[in-house]
């Protein structure tokens, strides 16, 4: 098993859509950043990459690279998924905490969990999502995400092992 942890923050800016967990939320500001500013997908990407000791999101998709300007963060998440699968792992579960003053996440939590489940191809009950307000932190103009993931080694069936009785039956002949 492997554990992975990711963290991200972006600043609220006017005139851009707010994307969290691959879902566009109704709000008068969005999150600035070189891509679409999706803190939850960025933190999840880093958690997955960290679990297999792969380079982090900023190394794989440098903010200085113009091709990632305004990019859909699903691209980053997909790369991390491909890497953990190539390393022989599947996701056991994901837990996350969002910290932001506005908007309220509660009404959108089900949609966000459903979208993350779809993207990671795991059941919704394997995805935790909590939201907190940044009491006393002075970060009302930012949104923060913490994500932790647990990976399990994929059980590979050895050739012929899907029919364990076959060899024994042959030996008996």
- Least spacing, CB of residue 123 vs Mg ion, in Å: 26
Between 6 and 108, whose beta carbon lies closer to Mg ion? 6
- Least spacing, CB of residue 48 vs Mg ion, in Å: 14
Output Rg (C-alpha) for the chain, integer angstroms: 19
Between 8 and 108, whose beta carbon lies closer to Mg ion? 8
Give the other-Cβ count within 10 Å of 78's Cβ: 13
Residues near Mg ion (CB under 5 A) are 8, 42
Structure tokens at 11: 């600043």
Separation of alpha carbons 54 and 79, rounded Å = 11
Asked whether the beta carbons of 72 and 36 are under 8 A apart, the reply is yes
The CB-nearest residue to Mg ion is 42
Beta strands in 15-132 (DSSP E): 18-20, 23-25, 29-31, 89-99, 127-132
Between 8 and 30, whose beta carbon lies closer to Mg ion? 8
Between 42 and 146, whose beta carbon lies closer to Mg ion? 42
- Least spacing, CB of residue 150 vs Mg ion, in Å: 22
Report the SS3 class of residue 39.
Answer: helix
- Least spacing, CB of residue 31 vs Mg ion, in Å: 8
Instruction: Give the position of tokens 């991390």.
Output: 80
């Amino acid at each position: 098993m492997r554990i992975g942890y990711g963290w991200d923050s972006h600043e609220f800016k006017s005139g851009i859509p707010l994307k969290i967990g691959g879902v566009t939320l109704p709000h008068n500001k969005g999150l600035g950043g070189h891509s679409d500013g999706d803190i939850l997908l960025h933190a999840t990407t880093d958690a997955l990459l960290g679990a297999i000791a792969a380079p982090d999101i900023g190394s794989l998709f440098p903010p200085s690279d113009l091709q990632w300007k305004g990019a859909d963060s699903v691209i980053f998440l997909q790369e991390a998924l491909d890497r953990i699968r190539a390393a022989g792992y599947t996701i056991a579960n994901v837990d996350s905490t969002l910290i932001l003053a506005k908007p309220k996440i509660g009404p959108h939590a089900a949609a966000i969990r459903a979208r993350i489940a779809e993207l990671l191809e795991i059941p919704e009950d394997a995805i935790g999502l909590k939201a907190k307000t940044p009491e006393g932190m002075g970060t009302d103009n930012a949104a923060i995400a913490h994500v932790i993931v647990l990976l399990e080694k994929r059980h590979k069936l050895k050739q012929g092992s899907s029919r364990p009785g076959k060899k024994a039956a042959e030996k008996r002949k």
